[in-house]
Amino acid sequence: MERWRKLHGRRLDYEERTRKREAREGHKESNKAQSLLGLRAKLYHKKRHHEKIQMKKQIKALEERSLKSSTPAEPSTTPLPQYLLDRSNPTNAKALSSAIKNKRNEKAAKFSVPLPRVRGIAEEEIFKVVKTGKKTAKKGWKRMITKPTFVGPDFTRRPVKYERFIRPMGLRYKKANVTHPELGVTVHLPIISVKKNPQNPMYTQLGVLTKGTIIEVNVSELGLVTSAGKVVWGRWAQISNNCEQDGCVNAILLV
């Protein structure tokens, strides 16, 4: 066919016929879409569905391209002064800070926490009675904490004889993965202290980390500042996972 075409050229009415065929295409497709039945209809419509998606995407891309040529694209969504425009600024932390401030203005938000109620944990679950050794076994007042704990950096153990609560080294945590709820930014931050364990005030003292515990985390590396221009370093967060099951501490920043 190709050789014949090269030798003799196309039919004289070739252009006319292709034009008409293309013009008929739409009608033909629509007729098919209306009249096909059964499996053929199913296959046909699936194909058409995909085609339409591709077409819409293409149209959108074209529109965007033409938009760009008329007005310049702003380099970022937040307005920046001229001297910050071409710099790659780490904006996460600052966005974090302003979102926190906006939220704080609503007074009611102060006392709401992401996890308002927690599962009660019995003392038997948290404390394991230590019965090693001759004397200890007799008295039975030594307890091992079976949950993860936060132990401050300046903690020194008491003499073994007097030590009532043992917080195992393997279950101690120093850092938490803290998420900002609105921005979806997660940062690995050092824990400063345990502020409130809802189970029992004693657990707060012992630094037990369970789901729903309020902890204070060190946000100084984010570079937040107060309205008076001081660096903010401690901010509260609530633990959102079962740390003893997951092997990590995940928390949500309270904003």
* CB closer to another protein, 22 vs 86: 86
| Total chain residues near another protein (CB under 8 A) | 24
Give the separation between CA 129 and CA 206, rounded to whole angstroms: 16
What φ, ψ does residue 191 adopt, rounded to 5°? -85, 140
Indicate whether 64 belongs to the interface with another protein (CB under 8 A).
no
Min dist. Cβ of residue 235 to another protein (A): 16
* CB closer to another protein, 35 vs 82: 82
Indicate whether 74 belongs to the interface with another protein (CB under 8 A).
yes
Indicate whether 83 belongs to the interface with another protein (CB under 8 A).
yes
Indicate whether 82 belongs to the interface with another protein (CB under 8 A).
yes
Indicate whether 101 belongs to the interface with another protein (CB under 8 A).
yes
* CB closer to another protein, 76 vs 205: 76
Q: Which residue has the tokens 């101690």?
A: 172
Which strands make up the sheet holding 143-145, listed edge to edge?
127-129, 143-145, 165-166
Burial of 23: CB neighbours in 10 Å, binned 0-12, 13-18, 19+: exposed
> Beta-strand (E) ranges in the chain?
127-129, 143-145, 165-166, 175-179, 186-196, 214-218, 234-239, 250-253
Give the separation between CA 55 and CA 165, rounded to whole angstroms: 68
Residue choice 32, 41, 44, 80 for contact with another protein (CB under 8 A): 80
User: How many helices (H) does the chain have, and how many strands (E)?
Assistant: 8, 8
Indicate whether 120 belongs to the interface with another protein (CB under 8 A).
no
Min dist. Cβ of residue 254 to another protein (A): 19
- Angle between helix 38-70 and helix 14-35 axes, rounded to 10 deg: 120
* CB closer to another protein, 38 vs 72: 72
Which residues in 206-245 contact another protein (CB under 8 A)?
223, 225-231
Min dist. Cβ of residue 170 to another protein (A): 38
Min dist. Cβ of residue 234 to another protein (A): 16
CB 194 within 8 A of CB 213: yes
Binding site for another protein (CB under 8 A): 71-72, 74, 78-86, 94, 97-98, 101, 223, 225-231
